[in-house]
Structure 1
Amino acid sequence: MDNETKLITVSIVTPNGVQYEHHGQIVVLDAIDGELGIMAGHEPIVTPLNIGSVQVKRIHSHDEQTDEIAVNGGYVEFSNDVATIIADSAERARDIDINRAESAKERAVRHIEEAKKKHDVSSQKRAEVALRRAINRINVYSSKK
């Protein structure tokens, strides 16, 4: 890493505490208005996030590395080269239990079908959110190298 590379601090916080904290060159997020990339010097911003992944490109022992974290919505606040992401839950790709995620996906699909049969819109919407969360975790897990 050359001396000119400016880094940001990326911190992901859930109700269970800090789940991730590293320095990186860029963080890429799934904001509600589309994909957002933030680097050092970016203007201050606060924006809501979709259920999606957070990617942090960082330097580790002179090698570039990208960490990917599944987050379930929330928001990001960036100022003074610090990105703080507040989310209900967050899991690094390496920590995702793929069997649990696949089971959650299957459960959500069943709940959607049951809710449709009963014309229960509220239950259907909750199950659709659970499905998006499960698919996000599966996708993040699948992206790890």
Structure 2
Amino acid sequence: MHENIKAFHLKVISINGIFYDDEALEIILPCYDGELALLYGHEEMIYAIYDGTIKIKKPDGKWIYGVVSIGSVQYTVDNECIVLVNTAEKPAEIDKNRAKEAYDFAMEHLNQKQSMKEFRKSQAGLARAMARLSAASKYKD
């Protein structure tokens, strides 16, 4: 473990199951106004998470990357961090062709006349597809 840096317990849970359940030195999450980094001793809070990449620093110093969709993070006074998201996947597990098809589909629908609800759904689909494509290209296990 790194000197002077304490670990906290981290759980990342999606609809498909548990993505991570172990000690961590740091987690970096995609939030509305940028990235949020959490370390041991962070104040108690609940925050919204958006489509993007999470970065988890394990006690051995190695990083784990994941692509998540919307959800929330809670950090408690007893140094427990729980991340609940709709989906979480490792970049190596992403089917680039399916992600590209989802991107093309969302772009096509954004250019069509739609209700505000449909437009927001298309925007969300585009954000998720972009996050998946970016992570699949950038992060290798």
TM bin, normalised by shorter chain, reads: 0.7 to 0.9
- More displaced 10-residue stretch of structure 1: 119-128 or 130-139: 119-128
Bigger Rg, which one: 1
Deviation per CA, 1:47-91: give whole Å up to 9, x if none: 11121211101244xxx3211111111100012222111111111
**Aligned residue runs from structure 1 range 70-85, under 5 A:** 70-79=67-76, 80-85=78-83
Of 112, 115, 120 in structure 2, the residue corresponding to residue 120 of structure 1 is 115
Q: Which runs of 4+ in 1 moved over 6 A?
A: none
Amino acid of the structure 1 residue aligned with 2:73:
V
Measured after TM superposition, the shift of residue 124 of structure 1 is: 2.1
State the distance in 2 between where 1:40 and 1:4 align. 11
Equivalent in the alignment of 1:140: 135
Contact kept? 2:7, 2:59, Cα under 8 Å: no
**Aligned residue runs from structure 1 range 86-101, under 5 A:** 86-101=84-99
Does 2:40 correspond to 1:45?
no
TM-score by length of 1: 0.84
Q: Percent identical across equivalent pairs?
A: 25
Measured after TM superposition, the shift of residue 36 of structure 1 is: 1.2
In angstroms, what is the RMSD of aligned CA positions? 1.8
Q: Which SS does the other structure have where 1:132 is aligned?
A: helix
- More displaced 10-residue stretch of structure 1: 25-34 or 72-81: 25-34
State the distance in 2 between where 1:95 and 1:82 align. 27
Q: Which SS does the other structure have where 2:6 is aligned?
A: coil
Aligned residues: 139
Q: Which has the higher strand share?
A: 1
1:132–1:2 CA distance, 2 compared to 1 (3 A): closer
State the distance in 2 between where 1:144 and 1:33 align. 22
TM-score by length of 2: 0.87
